[in-house]
Amino acid sequence: MSDFFAMGGYAWYVWMSYGAAAAAVIVEILALRLRRRHAFDTARMAQDADAAGPATRRPPADLRSNG
């Protein structure tokens, strides 16, 4: 069993590679959850703004006057 974990002298490289890959997968999952939550919040805000009516909507920043 110790030969398996030692991996012929390359254990440090192999286990650190596994760890880096696992860390990258975990970070990607967390980032995906944050992006998903942000997308749903943005969609919900847009839906609420549409439901509120045209009086409460503001034009995009590039269409507003500078005055």
User: If pLDDT is split at 50, 70 and 90, which confidence band does 28 have?
Assistant: very high
pTM: 0.61
User: Domain residue spans in the chain?
Assistant: 24-49
Identify which has the larger pLDDT, 37 or 67.
Answer: 37
Q: Is the distance from CB of 57 to CB of 49 less than 8 angstroms?
A: yes
Q: Which residues contact 7 (CB under 8 A, 6 or more apart)?
A: 14, 15
10 has a pLDDT exceeding 90: no
44 has a pLDDT exceeding 60: yes
